[in-house]
Structure 1
Amino acid sequence: MALCSDAIVTFLPILFFPQTIRPDRDSFVGQVAGQVGWVQNWIAEPPWSTQQQVPATTAVVSAVGSAVRNRRAHRLPSLRVFDITFNYRVDSPPGKDPDSQSPLLKADHQLLWTKELCDGELFKVQVPAEPKERRKNYLMFEQTPDKRFTFGSDAITNSYTSWGKPRNLVEAKAELSEEQKRRYFNPPYTIGSAMIWPVRKIHRPTLNTARGMRLRIADRMDLTLECIRRHYAEEPGSPLADVTTNYADFFKLFCAFKQFVEFFHLQDLVTPEGKIDFFLEDDENFKRPGVPTTKDEYIRVREASLKFITLRGNRMADWVEKNHPDIKVRRQ
């Protein structure tokens, strides 16, 4: 029975907590070890009757089967983990977009953004209740029965790994060393780079689409945030002015630029004076394309992006620890 118990200790964390298991060996061992105490207690007081004499092998099989059934019925305790290093490509089907296919990313969005707005209203983002809506929409916020917002998820940083133009960008990437390419290309998709944006059929392009396709922004969050700042300040010159105007009701939910920044943990892109801390010089007035055009610019943009992802992830972790003490936070 001792051998069977050891096997269960190893097996059950994977069975009960698949969303927390990462593929690399060290983190895998560490996460399994983190669940051993719970599993050992479960074995010490198994779900079958202690008065009933059951052969050891039968008891183990019965216990595992019973545990699985109870887990499905949500009757066993579950350890919720918020991991700022988790790569959402891991729990997405191979080749599929984590923004639509990662269950854990959706759950983390709900965790992070369900909180009070500036006027005290609860911004409760949730999966649509109706099956047809659920298939078409990612998350929704129903402000009133007649007023609701639909959101999509997207990464707010870009490595430009697959960009085949402009030519200057392609040439800049080609000059990188192999070590630099390993650092900058195809990075893991973690929560520090994740954001939700409003989506409406009648307002195309969406903010997410426009910021990725318009060369003056080039999918950079520092430049996107400058456009949002100008929207709140009613300043001209934003390459996204038409889009922020179409989604003005979304931005109104946060009352002011400062509250928008704090709500989405974007403080590390803003200076103490309330200005944007741009990744590159000469970006403030959108006089140049947002894409880096030299090797040096590419490295500076990527380093600034990676630093921002780490800082933002830790801000999120701080918020979860403060507001959800029952959730385990993992930072590395």
Structure 2
Amino acid sequence: MTFCIDTTFDFHWDTPDGRDPDKYSQKLREYHQLLWNKELPSGARFDLRPEPGAYLVHRSSLGVFFLASEAFTTRLRGKAARVIRSIPAEDLPEYIGYTVGSTLVFPGNKVGRKMTINGARGFHPRIADRPDLTLECIRRYYLGELPNPLAEPLARYETFFALFETFRGYVDFFLLQDLLKDDGKTVDFFHPLGNFSAKDAVPRDEKEYLSYLRHSNDFISARNRRIDAWRKQVAATLHCREEFPG
């Protein structure tokens, strides 16, 4: 496996028609393995490998962690469908594709036959699958702040979040710094946050939706640049050998 990540690659390109790239894109799986096979804040390695019947798995003295690829960003096409129908197609920002900056891995195994984190954030009306609201819930989980609509599903995976020790450790590991404000502690919301009310989760008119979409695209582009810079830095430490480390 070469240590090469193309941040312009749309994972629909190597996915059979009608299939989910998070399950069927081989390149996406390779990218996740390349990106997240690295040291944790503790210095321990978080090595991931594909296994039969599983997406990517870590096994070590730290524990066993089954991870799944998920679309971290959302254009809210279903939840904001009423608003989107009123916007002329030419006024919508260009779709920049399902690139690596749009993705993340979450624990993929169910605990107690309950929803995974990704399922919970998608179905919860006060989160609406949004990445900024999801990250705010993760921030509050680490700090024990309330309210937190995802407190219960996040707590089910406490051993996973313990790997990163702190909120900042989680953000830095998964290269999510571009979802924070300049202080490095506060989430930079795509759409103003009230008190996690359902009416605030989905933009209610054209102006709000277009603003949300621009913020989302800006984050994806910034994270792609950050991932590309990280890849180049790692390649340099490997004496410019574009090889998979480990």
Match of 2:165 among 240, 255, 269: 255
TM-score, normalised with respect to structure 1 = 0.68
Q: 1-side partners of 2:3 and 2:172: how far apart?
A: 24
Structure 1 residues 284 and 141, CA gap change in structure 2 (3 angstroms): farther
Runs of 4+ in structure 1 off by over 3 angstroms are: 78-81
CA-to-partner distance for each residue in 1:149-189, whole Å, 9 max, x for gaps?
Answer: 0011011111123x1x5xxx3331012112134725xx521
Q: What SS is found at the alignment partner of 1:88?
A: coil
CA-to-partner distance for each residue in 1:122-161, whole Å, 9 max, x for gaps?
Answer: 0101112xxxxx1x2100011339x300011011111123
Structure with more of its chain in helix, by fraction: 1
Deviation at 1:284, TM superposition (A): 4.9
Q: Which amino acid aligns with 1:109?
A: H
Gaps of 5+ in 2: none
CA-to-partner distance for each residue in 1:237-259, whole Å, 9 max, x for gaps?
Answer: 00000011111111100010011
Structure 1 contact 269–308 (Cα < 8 Å) conserved:
yes
Alpha-carbon RMSD across the aligned residues, in angstroms, is 1.8
Structure 1 contact 84–190 (Cα < 8 Å) conserved:
yes
Q: Name the residue aligned to 2:226.
A: 315
**Identity percentage over the alignment?**
37
Q: Which amino acid aligns with 1:189?
A: Y
Deviation at 1:80, TM superposition (A): 5.2
Q: What SS is found at the alignment partner of 1:154?
A: strand
Q: 1-side partners of 2:118 and 2:2: how far apart?
A: 33
Gaps of 5+ in 1: 1-77, 129-133
Q: 2-side partners of 1:246 and 1:327: how far apart?
A: 38
Match of 1:141 among 32, 54, 58: 58
CA-to-partner distance for each residue in 1:45-78, whole Å, 9 max, x for gaps?
Answer: xxxxxxxxxxxxxxxxxxxxxxxxxxxxxxxxx8
Q: What SS is found at the alignment partner of 2:66?
A: strand
TM-score, normalised with respect to structure 2 = 0.90
Match of 1:155 among 71, 86, 91: 71
Structure 1 residues 182 and 315, CA gap change in structure 2 (3 angstroms): closer
Structure 1 residues 243 and 79, CA gap change in structure 2 (3 angstroms): closer
Structure 2 contact 109–116 (Cα < 8 Å) conserved:
yes
Q: Name the residue aligned to 2:44.
A: 121
Q: Which amino acid aligns with 1:213?
A: F
Q: Rg bigger for which structure?
A: 1
Q: Name the residue aligned to 1:326.
A: 241
Deviation at 1:79, TM superposition (A): 6.1
Deviation at 1:101, TM superposition (A): 0.5
